Amino acid sequence: MPRPTGNIRLKAARVAAGFNSQQDLADALTKTARQMGIRGLSVGVRQVRRWESEKPPWPQPDCQRALVHLLGQSLEALGFTPPWGSDGRIPDHTRRTLVAGGTTSLGLAVVPGRAAGAPQPATAGTDFEAVTRSHRRLYWSVAPTNLHPAVIAHATLGCALLPETTDSTRRTIAAALGETYLLAGRIEFFDLREPSTANDTLLLALQAAGEADDALLGSAVIAHMAFVPGWVGDRDAALERMIAARTYARRAPASAEFLAWLDAVEAECETRCGSTRTALHLIGHAEDVLTAGNEHPSPEWMDWFSPARLAAFKGNTQMIAGHLLQARETLQGALETMSPSEDKQRSVVYGDLAAVEAAAGNPEQSCEYASQALDQLAITWYATGMDRVREVRRALTPHQHERCVRDLDDRLYDWSTTLSVLSR
């Protein structure tokens, strides 16, 4: 007899509660959420299927409340494991209630061997922050699959330290923890292509930013959360998150660079939702904001944006809008002004230039740019860059018998890249 697979605990609880199908449970959860006063929560059968899979994702806070209320068991009893455990499980002596008042709790129990309530020294904050800063720099050169476990482990340490600190030390650790979870979410979304996991991680980043009372960090987190619905064409959800991000930005002295980045994020969401005219208007506003400037400096952690990045956003939107001449000029200008530290974005720009040439009917030039993108990806892997190359190859289908396209296929499907291409 084959052994049962997937999250058998949740399956058993579902059947025991009288829900014979995943759709039945999804409908009941949606109804329960309304009865509990949780607005806007609609659970679909695909979400239940993911929860009943071999590695179920940690539910979002509102879903946690509805699941626990409906099935009468804790999340752990239902087969879920918190994302911040170092080994995927939290032992009994460090277990705490992970859901309180509808929000995810960052606190973990006191580390065994340390007296309850014993405060950490003031240096704990600066030491924890220093590692966060190092991870931020390593992101641009270290393979994401190698860096991500270290970042998550560091976040786990921050969760353990937070209850043992007070006042300024607590705020320092909470801010660094928020940045750490933000970095983890960025890796999950942009590098590992795990948008659902990234959204859950970014919720933890937002809570940590709240613990630090850091409105600007909160704004950055929420803007990153807008990418998740934006990239699948859910314009309403993306814009709702952007409104929240801009609201938080108004509560802090935001630099011109930060405000321009918010415009760029919203422009990318609009582009992916088919509103290229609105996107180009937002990018034009971002350019004006950068030109005008203001007296406020950008936060140290904001190392993912520059005028060259804005030009890359603009070139991609122009290309999608069909403005090929302008897109080619914009993207070439972005390449020329990028710093050496922007290698990941460089692969994306090469991919967009390849797409421009494919749309213009220049397969040889398109393949040349795509090959340059692959050269860059061989140095610094970036899933977003590989996605651009794959899109170009699909656009080159009418020319697939030409020598340049076959040469590109030889590179795209060599041993080092085939698995990454075919696994998505």
DSSP string, 355-395: HHHHHTT-HHHHHHHHHHHHHHHHHS--HHHHHHHHHHHHH
**What pLDDT shows up at residue 285?**
97
pLDDT tens readout for residues 110-137: 333 344 456 888 899 999 999 999 999 9
Measured between alpha carbons, how far is 227 from 178 in angstroms, rounded to an integer? 18
Q: Report DSSP letters for 208-254, one per residue.
A: HHHHHT-HHHHHHHHHHHHHHHHTTT-HHHHHHHHHHHHHHHTTS--
Q: Report DSSP letters for 168-188, one per residue.
A: HHHHHHHHHHHHHHHHHHHII
Averaged pLDDT score across all residues of the chain:
86
**What pLDDT shows up at residue 422?**
54
- pLDDT tier at 104, thresholds 50, 70, 90: very low
Residue in this structure with the two tokens 């398109």, named with its chain if needed: 366
Query: Which amino acid is it at 221?
Result: V
Contact 385, 421 (CB under 8 A): no
Q: Looking at residues 241-260, what average pLDDT do you find?
A: 95
Closest to 318 in 3D by CA, of 304, 305, 306, 332: 332
Instruction: Collect all residues with Cβ–Cβ distance below 8 Å to 237 and sequence separation of at least 6.
Output: 229
- pLDDT tier at 416, thresholds 50, 70, 90: low
Residue 105 in this model has a pLDDT that exceeds 70: no
| Three-state DSSP state, 58 | coil
Q: What is the pTM of this model?
A: 0.71
Residue in this structure with the two tokens 């084959």, named with its chain if needed: 2
pLDDT tens readout for residues 289-335: 999 999 999 999 999 999 999 999 999 999 999 999 999 999 999 99
* Pick from 38-47, 92-101, 388-397: least confident: 92-101
Contact 208, 182 (CB under 8 A): no
Instruction: Report percent pLDDT > 70 for the chain.
Output: 88
Half-sphere exposure of 31 (CA within 13 A, CB side): 7
The sign of the dihedral angle between the CA atoms of 342, 346, 347, 352 is positive
Instruction: Collect all residues with Cβ–Cβ distance below 8 Å to 188 and sequence separation of at least 6.
Output: 148, 194, 195, 197, 198, 201
Q: Looking at residues 398-419, what average pLDDT do you find?
A: 83
**What pLDDT shows up at residue 381?**
85
Supply 397's token pair.
Answer: 């289908």
Question: What are the two backbone dihedrals, phi and then psi, of residue 311, each rounded to the nearest 5 degrees?
Answer: -65, -35
Closest to 223 in 3D by CA, of 186, 184, 177: 186
Supply 321's token pair.
Answer: 């809008």
Instruction: Report percent pLDDT > 90 for the chain.
Output: 61
**What pLDDT shows up at residue 93?**
32
Residue in this structure with the two tokens 């709240």, named with its chain if needed: 210
Burial degree of 350 (CB within 10 A; 0-12, 13-18, 19+): buried
Per the DSSP assignment, residues forming a β-bridge with 99 are 104
- pLDDT tier at 163, thresholds 50, 70, 90: confident
* Pick from 81-85, 126-130, 384-388: least confident: 81-85
pLDDT tens readout for residues 214-236: 999 999 999 999 999 999 999 99
**What pLDDT shows up at residue 423?**
53
Supply 278's token pair.
Answer: 């609105």
